[in-house]
């Protein structure tokens, strides 16, 4: 709309001609870039590997202190709860996670670094919460824990803690490839009423202040995290929904595939970071 | 380009104003019913005066701004969790100790954030807690001593909204 | 109903004034916010939390909606003899939370701490 108005406001034909030629030139460039965009779709890393930083680099001193406090970190009661639920029998056979998986530090070591991952049975991309729910309903034959419920988040945090300090390593080839590419595409695409793409803030403008918030890189390695804004533990999915809200985009339904696709892309993009739980975020 | 008769003009004007009013009322109602985090509009809360904050506790006793340290960040990361640390110079003996501590808010819906009861058995009059602040305001810690007199310390804390507004 | 954790120094000698840290898991719902479904969450905060040591109330806090969720309270206590520290709190719903800790206090006349 504004572009058309601009065209109408031009007084001389000379100006009009130059603008039109510029427009055609831009249009031509756009088409070219579109095709080139498709061909280098494989892996777009706009954030260089040596610049990758955890969210802690962008938080205030109080949050750093809270996270470092190994007693008063507000995520710790959830970790305690997760540990309890791990050993608690459930379902028809009254089996606990522990009865099959044993000690969490041996069986779950490194697991969180590899999620989201393709579930062989359903061929869908599962995040860690999906996997836990699937285990609970299919293996334990117990009642489902809904997404974002206390129990699911607590166990997810507990399982993730077994990978604490380990580097993230997402698999993006094979069956995961279309999911990765979709996640990457969404990350690079403008959306919402604000018409902003994730990459604009989190690849190109991290570190600058948005009001009094310092923009982070949007890294996923510290989730599930205790988010002070929500006063409770939260999943990466919830955090991404908040981003959608932030740009005034229509938020996909809970459990939607796009959230998992974006999570997979983010995990690939976070190469070089370690799993960092239990964490506190603003 | 076309002239309106005075009657037409008045009619159109009043209709559009009525329409605008109805729409804006509807809009504000919609905002109330929206799934924005806050239900009660806390933005028109009034900053209390220091007198209003302490007068429910300090009636005729002495009130001194000494012998107390209140530590809080100058800029809160998030208003939902603001750490607060309080230290009162008192021997905490049977003869001289702190009996009560009131943590007061200048802007929150509830003027009292928390009340502590202490005694000589505590040994030290030092406390820490985490508070919620609904906006930039002054926080006052008021301590009642065993002789009935009061001491206070205050701290101005800036609290801002998140850059991206949350709808859940 | 609610979980809580307590931290005290590892070694307490009679007469020591030591720091206690208590973290209680409680949403401290102010009554002003909505949940994920958009439903208003009713006010539910801890109204009173107290600590009993040797049958005496040695600490009490009465928080309100202005106290943050999952509250942390830090205070000091003078150690006398070994005994139970009993924490008890009540919230708006009437739920009672409890935490008991066996406080071990080394008598003053015992040998001093080994040099570390």
> Is 50 exceeded by the pLDDT of residue C90?
yes
Distance of CA A70 to the CA centre of its chain: 25
Q: Which two tokens stand for residue A98?
A: 């522990």
Q: How many domains does chain A have?
A: 2
- CATH number at A215 reads 1.10.760.10
Q: Which two tokens stand for residue A121?
A: 């049975």
- Backbone torsions φ then ψ of A103, nearest 5 degrees: -70, 130
Report the pLDDT value the prediction gives residue C105, as an integer from 0 to 100. 96
Among partner residues C3, C21, C27, which is closest to A72 by beta-carbon distance?
C21
A14: in domain: no
Contact A267, A168 (CB under 8 A): yes
Report the pLDDT value the prediction gives residue A36, as an integer from 0 to 100. 44
Report the pLDDT value the prediction gives residue B10, as an integer from 0 to 100. 74
A29: in domain: no
C68: in domain: yes
Q: Identify the chains in contact with A, defined as 3+ C-beta pairs within 8 A.
A: B, C
Query: In whole angstroms, what is the distance from residue A47 CA to residue A217 CA?
Result: 9
Q: Does A243 touch chain B (CB under 8 A)?
A: yes
Report the pLDDT value the prediction gives residue A18, as an integer from 0 to 100. 61
| Beta-carbon contacts below 8 Å between B and C | 111
Q: How many domains does chain C have?
A: 1
C116: in domain: no
> Is 50 exceeded by the pLDDT of residue A129?
yes
Out of A127, A161, A195, pick the residue that ends a domain: A161
Q: Give the residue, A50 or A14, on which the prediction is more confident.
A: A50
Same domain assignment for residues A192 and A96 = no
A265: in domain: yes
Report the pLDDT value the prediction gives residue B31, as an integer from 0 to 100. 36
> Is 60 exceeded by the pLDDT of residue B25?
no
In the structure, what pLDDT confidence band is assigned to residue B36 with cuts at 50, 70 and 90? Answer: very low
C19: in domain: yes
Same domain assignment for residues A54 and A89 = no
> Is 60 exceeded by the pLDDT of residue A13?
no
Q: DSSP string spanning B31-79?
A: HHHS--SBSS-GGGPPPPPHHHHHTTT-SSS-EES-SEEEE--SEES-T
In the structure, what pLDDT confidence band is assigned to residue A43 with cuts at 50, 70 and 90? Answer: confident
Out of A161, A195, A219, pick the residue that ends a domain: A161
Report the pLDDT value the prediction gives residue A60, as an integer from 0 to 100. 86
Q: How much is the pTM? A: 0.81
> Is 50 exceeded by the pLDDT of residue A35?
no
Q: Tell me which of A12-16, A63-67, C5-9 is least confident.
A: A12-16
Residue C8 CB neighbour total at 10 angstroms: 17
Q: In chain C, whose CA is at the least distance from the CA of B129? A: C73
Nearest to A150 by CA among A232, A220, A229: A232
A31: in domain: no
Same domain assignment for residues A107 and A62 = no
Q: Which residues of A touch C72 (CB under 8 A)?
A: 72
Strands (DSSP E) contained in chain C are 4-7, 17-24, 46-53, 56-63, 72-78, 83-91, 96-103
Query: In whole angstroms, what is the distance from residue B168 CA to residue B7 CA?
Result: 50
Average model confidence (pLDDT) across chain B: 83
Among partner residues B78, B163, B167, which is closest to A228 by beta-carbon distance?
B78
Average model confidence (pLDDT) across chain C: 92
Q: Which residues of B touch C34 (CB under 8 A)?
A: 35-37, 39, 168
Average model confidence (pLDDT) across chain A: 88
Could you tell me what percent of chain B has a pLDDT over 70? 74
Among partner residues C56, C71, C75, which is closest to B127 by beta-carbon distance?
C75
Query: In whole angstroms, what is the distance from residue B167 CA to residue C3 CA?
Result: 29
**Paired strand residues for C99:** C87
pLDDT tens digit sequence for A106-116: 999 999 999 99
- CATH number at C31 reads 2.60.40.10
Report the pLDDT value the prediction gives residue B28, as an integer from 0 to 100. 40
C41: in domain: yes
> Is 50 exceeded by the pLDDT of residue A52?
yes
Same domain assignment for residues A222 and A185 = yes
Q: Which two tokens stand for residue A126?
A: 């599962």
> Is 70 exceeded by the pLDDT of residue A207?
yes
Q: Which two tokens stand for residue A271?
A: 């190469």
* 3-state secondary structure (DSSP) of residue A196: strand
Mean pLDDT of all residues in C80-88: 97
Same domain assignment for residues A88 and A138 = yes
Q: Which residues of C touch A81 (CB under 8 A)?
A: 3, 25
Q: Does B73 touch chain A (CB under 8 A)?
A: yes
**Paired strand residues for B137:** B157
Same domain assignment for residues A176 and A277 = yes
List b or e across A161-195, with b for residues whose CB sees 16 or more CB atoms inside 10 angstroms.
bbbeebebebbbeeebeebbbbbbbbbbeeebeee
Same domain assignment for residues A57 and A196 = yes
Report the pLDDT value the prediction gives residue B88, as an integer from 0 to 100. 97
CA angle (B146 as vertex; B140, B148 as ends), nearest 5 = 70
Q: Residue A152 burial by CB count (10 A; 0-12/13-18/19+): exposed, middle or buried?
A: buried
Residue B72 CB neighbour total at 10 angstroms: 19
| Residue A122 belongs to domain spanning | 76-161
Report the pLDDT value the prediction gives residue C75, as an integer from 0 to 100. 98
* 3-state secondary structure (DSSP) of residue A174: helix
The number of residues in chain A equals: 282
pLDDT tens digit sequence for B114-161: 999 999 999 999 999 999 999 999 999 999 999 999 999 999 999 987
In the structure, what pLDDT confidence band is assigned to residue B9 with cuts at 50, 70 and 90? Answer: confident
Residue B95 per-residue DSSP state:
S
In the structure, what pLDDT confidence band is assigned to residue B29 with cuts at 50, 70 and 90? Answer: very low
Residue A254 per-residue DSSP state:
T
In the structure, what pLDDT confidence band is assigned to residue B32 with cuts at 50, 70 and 90? Answer: very low
Out of A145, A161, A177, pick the residue that ends a domain: A161
Query: In whole angstroms, what is the distance from residue B74 CA to residue B166 CA?
Result: 24
C113: in domain: no
Q: Tell me which of A262-271, B40-49, B88-97, B145-154 is least confident.
A: B40-49
- Backbone torsions φ then ψ of C15, nearest 5 degrees: 95, -15
Same domain assignment for residues A62 and A180 = yes
Residue C38 per-residue DSSP state:
S
Contact C16, C38 (CB under 8 A): no
Report the pLDDT value the prediction gives residue B6, as an integer from 0 to 100. 79
pLDDT tens digit sequence for A72-94: 999 999 999 999 999 999 998 89
Q: Do A211 and B160 touch (CB under 8 A)?
A: yes
Q: Which two tokens stand for residue A102?
A: 């044993």
| Residues 32-51 in B contacting C (C-alpha not used; CB under 8 Å) | 35-40, 42
Q: Does A59 touch chain B (CB under 8 A)?
A: yes
Same domain assignment for residues A140 and A194 = no
| Cα separations in angstroms, B85 against A197, A269, B116, C77 | 41, 40, 13, 16
Query: In whole angstroms, what is the distance from residue B143 CA to residue B145 CA?
Result: 6
Nearest to B158 by CA among B69, B53, B77: B77
C10: in domain: yes
CA atoms within 13 A on the CB side of A145: 23
| Residue C10 belongs to domain spanning | 4-103
User: With the C-alpha atoms ordered A180, A185, A188, A192, is the resulting torsion angle positive or negative?
Assistant: negative
In the structure, what pLDDT confidence band is assigned to residue B26 with cuts at 50, 70 and 90? Answer: very low
In the structure, what pLDDT confidence band is assigned to residue B38 with cuts at 50, 70 and 90? Answer: very low
Q: Do A77 and C27 touch (CB under 8 A)?
A: no
Q: Do C66 and B103 touch (CB under 8 A)?
A: yes
Q: In chain A, whose CA is at the least distance from the CA of B160? A: A212
Q: Which two tokens stand for residue C93?
A: 């719903």
Long-range contacts of B67-74 (CB under 8 A, 24+ apart): B67/B151, B68/B141, B68/B143, B68/B151, B68/B152, B68/B153, B69/B153, B70/B139, B70/B141, B70/B153, B70/B154, B70/B155, B71/B155, B72/B139, B72/B155, B72/B157, B73/A60, B73/A61, B73/A62, B73/B157, B74/B156, B74/B157, B74/B158
In the structure, what pLDDT confidence band is assigned to residue C111 with cuts at 50, 70 and 90? Answer: low
Q: Please tell me the distance in Å from B7's CA to the nearest CA on chain C.
A: 47
Query: In whole angstroms, what is the distance from residue C40 CA to residue B21 CA?
Result: 28
Could you tell me what percent of chain A has a pLDDT over 90? 77
| Cα separations in angstroms, A190 against A199, A208, A252 | 9, 20, 16
> Is 70 exceeded by the pLDDT of residue A31?
no
A190: in domain: yes
Same domain assignment for residues A172 and A268 = yes
Q: In chain A, whose CA is at the least distance from the CA of C3? A: A77
Contact A183, A114 (CB under 8 A): no
């Amino acid at each position: 709309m504004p572009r058309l108005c601009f065209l109408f406001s031009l007084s001389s034909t000379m100006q009009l001609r130059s603008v039109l030629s510029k427009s055609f030139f831009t249009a031509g460039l756009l088409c070219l870039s579109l095709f080139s965009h498709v061909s280098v779709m494989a892996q777009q890393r706009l954030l260089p590997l040596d610049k990758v930083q955890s969210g802690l680099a962008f938080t205030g001193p109080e949050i750093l202190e809270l996270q470092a406090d190994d007693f008063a970190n507000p995520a710790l009661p959830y970790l305690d709860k997760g540990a309890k639920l791990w050993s608690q029998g459930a379902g028809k056979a009254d089996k606990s996670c522990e009865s099959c998986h044993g000690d969490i530090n041996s069986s779950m070591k490194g697991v969180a670094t590899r999620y989201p991952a393709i579930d062989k049975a359903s061929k869908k991309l599962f995040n860690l919460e999906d996997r836990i729910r699937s285990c609970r309903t299919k293996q334990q034959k117990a009642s489902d824990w809904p997404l974002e419920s206390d129990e699911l988040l607590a166990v997810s945090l507990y399982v993730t803690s077994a990978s604490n300090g380990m580097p993230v390593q997402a698999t993006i080839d094979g069956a995961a490839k279309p999911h990765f590419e979709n996640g990457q595409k969404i990350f690079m695409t403008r959306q919402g009423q604000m018409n902003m793409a994730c990459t604009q803030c989190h690849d190109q403008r991290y570190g600058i202040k948005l009001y009094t918030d310092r923009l982070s890189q949007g890294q996923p390695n510290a989730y599930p995290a205790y988010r002070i804004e929500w006063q409770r533990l939260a999943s990466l999915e919830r955090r991404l929904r908040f981003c959608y809200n932030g740009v005034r985009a229509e938020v996909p339904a809970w459990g939607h595939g796009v959230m998992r696709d974006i999570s997979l892309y983010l995990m690939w993009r976070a190469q070089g970071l370690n799993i960092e739980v239990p964490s506190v975020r603003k | 380009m076309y002239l309106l008769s005075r009657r037409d003009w008045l009619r159109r004007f009043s209709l559009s104003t009525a329409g605008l009013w109805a729409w804006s009322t509807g809009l504000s109602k919609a905002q109330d019913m929206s799934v924005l985090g806050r239900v009660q509009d806390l933005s028109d809360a009034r900053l209390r005066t220091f007198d209003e904050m302490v007068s429910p506790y300090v009636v005729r006793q002495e009130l001194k701004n000494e012998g107390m340290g209140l530590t809080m960040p100058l800029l809160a990361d998030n208003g939902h969790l603001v750490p607060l640390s309080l230290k009162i110079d008192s021997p905490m003996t049977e003869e001289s100790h702190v009996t009560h501590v009131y943590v007061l808010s200048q802007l929150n819906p509830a003027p009292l954030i928390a009340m502590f009861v202490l005694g000589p058995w505590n040994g030290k009059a030092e406390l820490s807690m985490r508070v919620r602040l609904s906006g930039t305001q002054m926080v006052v810690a008021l301590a009642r001593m065993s002789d009935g007199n009061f001491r206070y310390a205050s701290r101005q804390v800036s609290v801002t909204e998140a850059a991206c507004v949350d709808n859940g | 109903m609610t979980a809580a954790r307590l931290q005290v120094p590892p070694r307490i000698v009679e007469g020591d004034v030591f720091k206690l840290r208590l973290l209680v898991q409680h949403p401290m719902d102010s009554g002003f916010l909505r949940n994920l479904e958009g439903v208003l969450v009713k006010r539910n905060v801890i109204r009173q939390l107290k600590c009993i040591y040797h049958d005496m109330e040695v600490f009490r806090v009465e928080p309100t909606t202005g106290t943050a969720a999952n509250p942390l309270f830090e205070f000091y206590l003078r150690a006398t003899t070994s005994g139970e520290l009993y924490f008890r709190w009540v919230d708006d719903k009437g739920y009672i939370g409890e935490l008991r800790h066996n406080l071990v206090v080394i008598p003053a006349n015992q040998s001093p701490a080994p040099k570390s």
